[in-house]
Chains A and B, each alone.
Chain A
C-alpha cells in the first residue's frame, strides 16, 4: 500500500494547503534504478572485462547517467508542471528538429544503427527526447482542443503531430520500435482524453487484424525460398519469432538465447551473478535482454517481483493522474504511465518471445543513459503533478 505523507508546510495554520508527495513512487523508482545497476553489473561485467578491461565499465557509465537523471528528477519535481505548458510547442519543434541531426556529423552509430547524437559531450537519443516532447505537447494540445476532441475530425487532428514524429523516428533513425512506442503513448493519452470507446475498440481490432494479416502474408511468402530473401530483416525477424530454432544461427539467435536463459532459470533461478548466458552467449545481455538474465539468475520469483514493482509504479501513476488538479496534469501523468507500461510490456514480451524481436529497453533497468535520464525526468514531472494535489481534495 502506498503511504501518503503529510508534508507539513508552515504548520497547522496552512493545513488547507497541505499537499501530497508520492514517496512510494519515488522509492519504487529508486529501488528499480538500484536493482538495475546491480543487474547491469552482473550481466555486463564479463563483456566489459573482455572489451574494455574494466568489469565495471557499463556500471560506471550507467551510474553517471542515473545520478544525472536523479538530479534532473529532483529539479523537475520542483518545477510547477504548468511551466511545461509554455514549452509545449518549442518541445515539439525541438523533438522534431533533433531527429534529422542523427544524419549530420553530430550523429553517430552504434550497433549498426545511426540513432544517437552527441552535443557538448553528452550523447542522447532523439527518440527519447521525442517521447517526452510528445507527452508534453499532446497534453497541451488536448487541453487546447477542449470539446472538439469528441469529433472524429478532432481525433484525427490530434493524431497528426505524434504521427509525424513517429514516421520521422521510424524513417530517419530506422527505429521502428521507438516509433511504435511514441504512437502508443499518443494513442493512450488520446484514449484517456476522449470520452469515446467505440472508435478505440475499432482501431484496436483493425490494428490487431492488420498485424495478423502481415504475419500471415510473410509466412505465405516464406514458403517460396527465393521470395524469402526479399523479406528484409523485419520479415525474417517475424519468421524467426514463429520458429526461433529454425533461424537459430541468425535472426532467431538472440530470441533463442533469451529463452535458454529464462527457461534455465526455473523457479528460484541460478542465484545472483550465476548466469551463464551472459558469458557471451546472449547478445545485449545488459541491454534489451536484461530481463532474461534477471529470470536466469533470480528465477520466476525475481521476475514476478520486477513485474509487480512496475505494476506498483503504474498504479501510483494512476492514483496521481486521477487526483491531478487538472486535465493537463492528468494527461502528463497518463503519458508517462503509458510510456512505462508500453516499454515494460513490449520488453518482456520480446524476451519471452511473445512478439517478434525488436529493440526495446526495460525502463530503469536496461543499460542506456538517454533512456534512464529521460525516464527520471518524466518521473520528476509525475512527482510534481503529485505535489499539486491538495490533501483536502483527496
Chain B
C-alpha cells in the first residue's frame, strides 16, 4: 500500500503518547506524595479505623478484715456471646445454649439470628459452666471470662462493705469510698478488625495488661462483727424491734471493729428485697396509715381548712428503688435519732470542763423541775430526793442535768457541743453520713437548754454519739471513726496508710478521768448495772428515748458502754428501735453490751 499515513498524523500520535506519558508522570508524582509524604497521616487514620479497643477488666481489690479474713472477693464468671458471622450450625447453637444456660429457645434464637458483630446471650455464668460451653467448641460461640464481686459472708456487714455495680464500680459503703483504691486500672487489647468489627485472627494484638486493684485492709474484726450481728438479731427478734444498730469501736484511735444495722441484706443479691425489710416496711406503712386515720378522725368535727394533698402515686420502678434505698440505709450513720440519757455524758463533761459542778455538789430531785413556765418531769415520779452529782448521774436524774445545763448556760453549752465535735459530721469513711440536727445558737432558750441537757430536742447519728463518748473517755482527744487501715498490693506490701491522726484535745485529761470514774459507777451502782461483768471494769450509760414524733408510744432503748473503765480499749453502742414490751435501755440494751463484752473482752486480750 502506497498511501502511507501523512506525517502530521504520525506526529500527532507521538504528541498523544507524550501527552499520556506526562499525565502518567503527574499521577506518579501524586502517588509519591500520597504514599511517601502523606503515608504517615493516612496510616494513622486507617489504623484508628481498623483498631478496636477492647478493655480487659482489672481484678478489683479485696476487702480484708484486721486479721486477713476476706470479706469481699472476686469470682471468675463467664459471659457467653455469639458471633453471627461465625456460626456454622445455627440450630445446634440454639439448642445447645438454651439447654446449658436454661434459657428459652426463643430467647436464644432471637439473639443468634440477630445480625450483629457480637451478641451477648448471658453474663455471670459460673466458671464451670462456661468451661463446659467452651469445651463444646461450637463455632460462633464465644466465652469470655470476667470478674464478679463476691461476698463470702453474704449479709455480714452488708451496709458497711457495700457492693458494686455492673461496671465494677462501688454503689454503697466502703466500695464507694475506696473505689479508687480497689478498682485498679483497666487494661486494653487493641485488635485489627474488618469493617463489621470482627477481629482478624492473623493480626497481632497490642495488649496493655490491666493493673489489679489494691486490697483494702479494714479495722473490722470478722469475729466481733459476726457476734455483734448475732446479738443484734437476737435482741431484734426477742424484743420484736424494728431495727437494731450496734457499733463496736476502739475509743483510742477510732477504729471501728464492728458496725451492725439489722436487718441487713445479702450483698451477693443486693437487688433482692429481703423479707425482713419487706416486713419492716409493711409495719411502717401500717403505722403511717393509722396516724393518718387518727388525724382524720381528730379533724372530722372541725372544718379542715387544709386539705391533705394526696401523695403522688409512685411508679412501680420508683417504689422499688425507694425500697432498695431503704434496705441499703445504714442506720448507724445515715439516720439520726434523739439520743436521750446517753447524752447526759456530754452534759456532765461540759459542766465539769466549765467548772460548773464538782463531784461533791448536792442536788435535790422532787420528781420534776420547773424551767421558766415549764414543768419538766423526772423519769422517777416520786423524785430521787437529795443526791450528790455522782448519784445524780447513776440515777440518770433529769432535774440534776437540767440544773447543770442551766448552770453552764446556752452560750457555753453550745460552745462545748461545738468543741466536742458534735455539730460536725464525724468524718467516718462511709458515704452518706447524716449531720447533726441542732437548734440555732441564738434560738436556745432555757427550755431548749433544759431538754438538750438530757438529750432531747435535737438529733445525732448513733456513730456521732459513740465517737463523742469515746473522745470524752479516752483522755479527751477527739477521734475520727474509720474502717480503712491500709491498702496493700498483691504481694501484701503496704501502698497506702489510712491511719488517722488523733485529733484535738476536747476536754482535759482530768475531766476525762472523772467521766471514766462516773460512768464506771453508773454500771457498778446505777442504771447500767445489767452491763456488769465480773472481773472487768465497765463504764457506760443507758438511755430510753422516744421515737419522734412524740406520742407515738414507741421508744428507742440504747446503751453505750466501754471497758476497761480507766483506760478504755473498746467502746460499744447499741440502739434498739421500737422494742415491744419493756423498753428501758437499762433493761434491754445494757444486757446486749454485757453479752458482747463477755465475749469480746477476753477475745481482745488474746
Contact = CB atoms under 8 A, between A and B. Distances in A.
A134 interface: no
A265 interface: yes
A267 B36 CA distance: 6
Contacts of A307: 24, 27-28
A38 B419 CA distance: 87
A335 B35 CA distance: 33
Nearest to A300: B35
Query: Which of B1, B4, B24, B38 gathers the greatest number of chain A CB atoms within 10 Å?
Result: B24
Interface stretch (A64-72, A98-106, A209-217, A345-353): A345-353
B606 interface: no
B291 to A, nearest CB: 62
A327 B14 contact: no
B31 A322 contact: no
Contact of B31 (A295, A324, A341): A295
Contact of B30 (A188, A341, A352): A352
Interface stretch (B41-49, B365-373, B521-529): B41-49
Nearest to A281: B195
Contacts of A326: 1, 3-5
Nearest to B27: A348
A327 B5 contact: yes
Contacts of B85: 50
B298 interface: no
A236 B192 CA distance: 32
B1 A276 contact: no
B199 to A, nearest CB: 11
Contacts of A338: 16
Interface string B20-40: 110110011011101110110
Contacts of A349: 27
Given A260-B42, A265-B35, A192 B27 contact: no
B31 to A, nearest CB: 5
A168 B9 CA distance: 30
Contacts of A314: 17, 20-21
A276 B13 contact: no
Given A326-B3, A348-B27, A263 B9 contact: no
B194 interface: yes
Contacts of A324: 5
A115 B27 CA distance: 29
Interface in A314-348: 314-315, 318, 321-322, 324-327, 330, 334, 337-338, 341, 344-345, 348
Contacts of B45: 260, 263
A188 B5 contact: no
Given A259-B42, A263-B43, 7 more contacts: A46-B194, A262-B42, A264-B39, A281-B195, A304-B28, A344-B24, A345-B20
Interface of B: 1, 3-6, 8-10, 12-14, 16-17, 20-21, 23-24, 27-28, 30-32, 34-36, 38-39, 41-43, 45-47, 49-50, 85, 192, 194-196, 200
Which A-B residue pairs are the 7 nearest by beta carbons? Answer: A263-B42, A280-B195, A279-B194, A260-B46, A318-B17, A264-B43, A341-B20
12 contacts: A191-B12, A195-B8, A262-B35, A263-B45, A295-B35, A300-B31, A300-B32, A300-B36, A315-B17, A326-B1, A327-B3, A354-B27
Interface of A: 46, 50, 188, 191-193, 195, 259-267, 276-277, 279-281, 295, 299-300, 303-304, 307, 310-311, 314-315, 318, 321-322, 324-327, 330, 334, 337-338, 341, 344-345, 348-349, 352, 354, 393
